[in-house]
Structure 1
Amino acid sequence: MATLPSLKGLQAFEAAARAGSFVAAAEELSISAAAVSQLIRTVEEQMGRKLFHRVNRRAVLTEAGVEMLPRLSMAFREIGSVARDVGGDAFR
């Protein structure tokens, strides 16, 4: 099987991109904003593509990030659906 980027890093990217903020993503994931930044940086290194432009304490999606967000969000929704279907009340 092909090597995938860090799933925790992908989760951090998706949360930050959706929320528009590393701080909001950190709150959602119960980790620090610095941890979100590091997880995203790791995914960027693994993929060989920048997902955010970091400018003056702001993070703006790159073209690759814009392309990736809806597909990754859909994948996480599908994973949640499978977990709810199989795991029942544990994932509601």
Structure 2
Amino acid sequence: MDQPYYGLPCLTELETFEVLGRRRSFELTASEVNIAPEVVSRRVNAVEEQLGVALIASSGSGVRLTEPGEDLHRALAETFTRASDVFRRLKRKQSLLHLPHK
């Protein structure tokens, strides 16, 4: 396997985990990310394997994040929100300057 970017798991795996942390459901996560629920499970397992810790625990009505899972989810949510804010600001600035799209 190639060396992970910045020592991180694949971004699609991290995105899937972030959505699972918000949705607390494999089915809702699968729907949002447009993949099968089994793929959600595989992606989360891949992150857990790289970290060597459990990120989720099954709960009667859905998914519960472990303490490490809560820590990772919080970091990912903050990072993705910040990246999204910067992306929107740059797009807004670009449209104000009427630069052509590439």
Query: Normalised by the size of structure 1, how large is the TM-score?
Result: 0.81
Q: Equivalent residue for 1:82?
A: 86
Match of 2:54 among 37, 40, 50: 50
1:1-92 paired onto structure 2 within 5 Å: 2-54=6-58, 58-88=62-92
2:48 and 2:55 in contact (8 A); partners too: yes
What RMSD over aligned residues (CA atoms) do the two structures have, in Å? 2.1
Structure 2: give runs of 5+ residues left out of the alignment: 96-102
**Deviating runs (4+, > 2 A) in structure 1?**
54-59, 85-89
Query: Normalised by the size of structure 2, how large is the TM-score?
Result: 0.74
Q: In 2, distance between residues paired with 1:20 and 1:4? A: 22
Structure 1: give runs of 5+ residues left out of the alignment: none
Q: In 1, distance between residues paired with 2:26 and 2:20? A: 5
Total equivalences in the alignment? 89
Tell me the alpha carbon deviations over residues 59-82 of structure 1, each in whole angstroms, 9 at most, x when there is no partner: 321111112222210101111122
